Every structure is written in structure tokens, then in C-alpha cells.
Amino acid sequence: MQRQWRIVPHDSGRVESLMQAARLPAVVAQLLVSRGVYCAEDASRFLDTKLMGLRDPKELPGVPKATEILVEAIGDKTPIVIYGDYDCDGMTGTAILVNGLRLLGADVSYHVPNRLEDGYGLNEDAIRRLADRGKKIIVSVDCGITSVEHAELCKELGTKLIITDHHAFADQLPDAAAIVHPRLPGSAYPFGELCGAGVAFKLAWSICQEISGGKKVTEPLRRYLMQSLSLAAIGTVADVVPLLDENRILVEHGLRMLRAEPLPGLVELMKITKLDQASSLDTESIAFNIAPRLNAAGRLGQAQLAVELLTAPAGDRAIQLAEYIHELNSTRDSLQRSVYLAANKQAKSDFDPIGDPALVLAGVGWHQGVIGVVAGRLADKYAKPVLVLSLDAAGKAEAVGSGRVGGTDIDLHQALCECSERLVRFGGHKAAAGLTLNEREIEAFRGDFCEAVARQWTDKDIVPEIVIDAEATLGQLNLEVLKQMEMLAPFGAGNPRPVLYCGSVELDEPARRMGGGDRHLSVRLRQGSKVIRGVAFSAGDWCDELNSVDGPIEIAYRPVINEFRGFRKVEIHLVDWRPAKTMATV
């Protein structure tokens, strides 16, 4: 389904009023107005990312009870195990709690399931093994909110279960010793979009306060919490939760700590990715360098090593782990590219990727560790929900899948709920989910799922679109303007980097493919006397079509500052393009 371009109307009166009231540069005021921020108070709330803006951790539902249990366990040396999810969010949240409890002298260990063997969430066999090893308290991170049966098992085994999570609920909550969740039924926490690492950070902060006997913590604990902000930031960016409210604060200060005082494992990972040489770090530094490498360990069944990296002291082991995880990322990249090519070929040959309301793709031997990323790339490409299923080469009856919605407003979890009778299990949230189903149900499920998504397209009147903040010629782009735009950072989900529109643009030279497998696109664009370089990630297939256009084009783009060997210049990330025509304001 093709995205429509929607340029936000330019209300000069509101922009001028906000400029005067909040004393903001014109470009910042215009971008804020385009995002629905009209008054100085709201602008201040949006732009202010001071640490004092974080709410008291004990306001988070479930934190007081969980804190009470864990502080007592620290004093009694009760064996605690942190049971984290295998994605970047779960691993960073696990590391936050492990590092803090170790610092406080607790008897603590961690367990992260093998993605390929154990599957998502709490696992019965793992719980039994942990109980047999004498673990008396299990603390879940980024999972567990739907684990009703596992909570009962913990009670039978005499093990206390503390659940910390942020995912969607089932009809029944687990009967756990404590549940920490920003949207816990019956609570009124004002910000429900914390990720798993953000929830873990709040719990760790509360424990530090309790141990310190007040809101002001001791210096060693203060240093630990500040360093933990970098882990919370990585988890927040990687899990693509909205960068609003508390998440903006966690990411802003986490980036600062990542630059100023990173944990030993992150020091080594940043050396490998050359982030240690960058003059500044932003959300893209996490999204394109750190998170993929941590996620690679989880996707290839070795999440335990990523947690070890994030909890390791400085020394040879941290160096070895960083190097190995970097190698895992290269393997993951190769697997991902192979599955993407096969899935995209299937989408175009067996289905209608433009007209179908959703795509359900399946292949034998598609690596389970990369199908979520592939689903995300295809969902972005076709602007619709995509599920990618991995069929077992040995002929096992069950297929494992992962889905993404591609920036649309489709509720993936709701659509799966409507097809739940065809599924063995599923979980996730509005934008991303995992599922398991019997292979013989795939065709019937595909029909049901597409119908469920089609109803949302109709009922909600959803139209996939690219929202454009403002029109700007290439000649208007300079370092000062982009510096002003950066006042709106950190950018990410819920607060994307501004998208601008420019018409009557021509190719200064033929576009070309670049990157491994020719996945990306490189262009030099000209408007009048201004020439600027642009790239389009994962859009190498635009190349031939773009070069065949006879005449000018229009572009939707994000301006960025590219830094190379200390030299900074403005470039653009191409979001979309089309042959030139009149651009309508909606």
C-alpha cells in the first residue's frame, strides 16, 4: 500500500506566538507547532529533559512491594535470579538489576532463555531448574505479565516471583508476589510507555533509596544509577517505545553517560564500532551500532553472553565478549539478508504486496532469530503489517513467527487476538508481536489475519502516510538550522526526526546502489545551484526506477549532520520520492 504524503499546515500565527512566548528559534517553533505543541508551557515540558523530571520510583505500580521483598532478600542473602528476556530491552534491564544487586551484596545470578530452544518468556523447565538450584526469588524483566501458569508453578515450588514488564495483559494477571508494570489495572501512573529496562531502572532506583534510608542515595549508588541510565537508554531506543515524557529524560541522560562514563563492556563495544571517536552520540548511535550487536547475541541464542558483557568488569573478558558479539552481528546480518531476499521474493510472486491488507510469509529454515527484523523491513517497505513465519526443516508441526506493523496505526496484538483460535500461543503489543501456530493452520490463519487487519483499515479509516513537518529547499539546509532542530532530540518513536518536503529536485548524477548486497541507495541531488548528498537505507531497489525518471522529482527527507574525520556537513536521509507534481496541504 503506497503511503500518502501529508504536509502539516503552516500556521504562521501560532509559530510566531510560540517563538515570542517561549523564546525559540523560528525553525524549532514551527516544528513544535507541527507536532501539536502550541503554548510555552507545553514547549518547555517537551524540551526540558532534566533528571528531576523523572517521577519518584515508588509511584510506579508494584515498586513498593517489590522493593520490600528484594531489600529483605539482600539482607538475608536469599538467592535471587534475574530472569530476563533475550532482546536488547530485556538484556539491558537484566544488567541494570544484576549490577545493582551485586553492588549491594546480594546473592544474585541471572538467566536469559535461549531464543531458539526455550522461546519467549518464562519457561517451566527453566523455573524448575532454578528452583532445584536453590533460587528462592525469581525477578522477571521484560516478560511475565501473561505467565499465569508459571506464577502458579513458582508458588508450588516455594519460589517467590516478582514480575517486571511493560507488555500487554491477558484476561488474567499472574498471582505473583509483586507485579511492577506502568499500566497495572487499577493504578493511575501517568506514563504507561516505559520499556522493560525503564521499569527495571525504576525498581533499582527505589531499592537504592530504601537501602540509603531516603530519597538521596549514597555516592556509590548514585554512580551506579547514573551509569545504569545508559542501559535504560539503550533498552528504550531498541524497543522502539515513544520517546516522550520519562523516556526522553532516560535517553537524553543515558546518552550523556554513555559518552562520559560507559560501563566496561560498552567501552569495548564502542571501540569496535568507533563510537568512542564520535564527537557526540545520539539515538542513531544506539539504533544502528549498539542495539543490533546486543540483539544479535539474543537472535542467535547467546543472550547470556550479552548480559555478561553488560555486567563484566574491565579486562580481557570484556574485550573478548565485545569482539565475539561483534562477530555474531556479522553472522546475523548475513542470515537476515538471505531471509529478507527470500521473503520479499515470495511477497511479490505469491501475493499482492500493494493491494493485500497484510502479508503472512513463510519459509522452511528461515532463521527464527532474524524473522522479526525481516518482518519490520518488509512492513516498512510495503506500509502494512507483515508476519514472517519460520517452518522447521525437520518437519516439526509448529511454525514460529514474528510480526511488525510498518509505522501504520494497525493494532497487531488486536488482530492476533481475533485469530487466537488458530494460534498455539502469541504475545507482544500493538506494533510488534510473536506467535506460534501449527503448520496446517497457516493458510486458514492467513485469511483470518488479513480479514482482521482489513477491518481495522476500514473501521479506523487508517491510511498509511508520511507526515511532513514543513517545506524546506535544499538551499535552506545548513549546520546552524540543523543545530536548532537538534533541540527537539532525542529522536525516535513518538518523536521522529523531522521530515521535510522539497520539490523540483533533480539528480546531479545517476543514483547508485551501495552497501553489502547493494541494499542501500546513494544519490546526489540538485536544486538550483545547491547540490547535496543523500542516502536511502534498505532502498537499493529504488535505483533503476529513480534513474529512469524523465524530469524533476519531489522528495520527503530527513536532514542530518554527517561527521567524518572531524569534518561536519549536512546530508539527507531520503524517506520517499515521486515524480514532481503539486504537493497538497492536508
pTM of model > 0.75: yes
Mean pLDDT confidence for 64-93: 97
- Cell 511492577 sits on residue: 180
What is the percentage of the chain residues whose pLDDT exceeds 70? 97
pLDDT value of residue 585 = 45
Given 463, 497, 525, the domain boundary residue is: 463
Report the C-alpha gap between 363 and 308 in whole angstroms.
33
Given 426, 443, 463, the domain boundary residue is: 463
pLDDT value of residue 586 = 42
| Neighbour tally for 475: CB within 10 Å | 12
Residue 269 pLDDT greater than 60, yes or no: yes
CATH code of the domain covering residue 458 = 3.10.310.30
CATH code of the domain covering residue 521 = 2.40.50.460
User: Do residues 167 and 254 share a domain?
Assistant: yes
Predicted confidence band of residue 538 (pLDDT cuts 50, 70, 90): confident
Predicted confidence band of residue 583 (pLDDT cuts 50, 70, 90): very low
Residue 330 included in any domain: no
Residue 274 pLDDT greater than 60, yes or no: yes
User: Do residues 68 and 193 share a domain?
Assistant: yes
What is the percentage of the chain residues whose pLDDT exceeds 90? 78
Q: Average model confidence (pLDDT) for the chain?
A: 92
pLDDT value of residue 395 = 62
CATH code of the domain covering residue 192 = 3.90.1640.30
pLDDT value of residue 14 = 94
User: Do residues 501 and 541 share a domain?
Assistant: yes
User: Do residues 445 and 497 share a domain?
Assistant: no
Residue 226 included in any domain: yes
User: Do residues 495 and 512 share a domain?
Assistant: yes
- How does pLDDT run across 350-380, given as a tens digit for each residue? 999 988 999 999 999 999 989 999 999 999 8
- How does pLDDT run across 227-237, given as a tens digit for each residue? 999 999 999 99
Residue 425 included in any domain: yes
Cell numbers describing residue 137? 526469588
DSSP per-residue letters across 400-424: EEEEE-TTSS--HHHHHHHTGGG-S
Report the C-alpha gap between 211 and 224 in whole angstroms.
14
User: Do residues 84 and 228 share a domain?
Assistant: yes
Looking at the structure of the chain, the number of domains it has is: 3
Residue 301 included in any domain: no
Q: Pick the residue with more confidence: 256 or 406?
A: 256
Residue 528 included in any domain: yes
Mean pLDDT confidence for 272-282: 92
Alpha-carbon dihedral 141, 145, 146, 147, rounded to 10 degrees = 60
User: Do residues 189 and 234 share a domain?
Assistant: yes
Residue 555 included in any domain: yes
Mean pLDDT confidence for 521-543: 93
pLDDT value of residue 555 = 96
Mean pLDDT confidence for 132-149: 96
User: Do residues 422 and 525 share a domain?
Assistant: no
Residue 28 pLDDT greater than 80, yes or no: yes
Given 258, 285, 302, the domain boundary residue is: 258
- How does pLDDT run across 398-441, given as a tens digit for each residue? 899 999 998 788 999 999 999 999 999 888 778 888 899 999 99
- How does pLDDT run across 35-46, given as a tens digit for each residue? 889 999 999 989
Report the C-alpha gap between 91 and 111 in whole angstroms.
10
Predicted confidence band of residue 564 (pLDDT cuts 50, 70, 90): confident
Predicted confidence band of residue 457 (pLDDT cuts 50, 70, 90): confident
User: Do residues 417 and 534 share a domain?
Assistant: no
Residue 545 included in any domain: yes
User: Do residues 78 and 197 share a domain?
Assistant: yes
Sort strands 398-404 and 432-438 into parallel, antiparallel or unpaired.
antiparallel
- How does pLDDT run across 499-531, given as a tens digit for each residue? 999 999 999 999 999 987 788 999 999 999 999
Residue 386 pLDDT greater than 60, yes or no: yes
Instruction: Collect all residues with Cβ–Cβ distance below 8 Å to 355 and sequence separation of at least 6.
Output: 1
pLDDT value of residue 4 = 85
DSSP-assigned letter for residue 216: S
Mean pLDDT confidence for 127-139: 97
Report the C-alpha gap between 539 and 521 in whole angstroms.
6
pLDDT value of residue 462 = 67
User: Do residues 84 and 148 share a domain?
Assistant: yes
Residue 341 included in any domain: no
Residue 396 pLDDT greater than 90, yes or no: no
User: Do residues 426 and 540 share a domain?
Assistant: no
With H, G, I as helix, E, B as strand and everything else as coil, classify residue 183: coil
Cross-strand pairs, 564: 567
Q: Show the domain range for 458.
A: 351-463
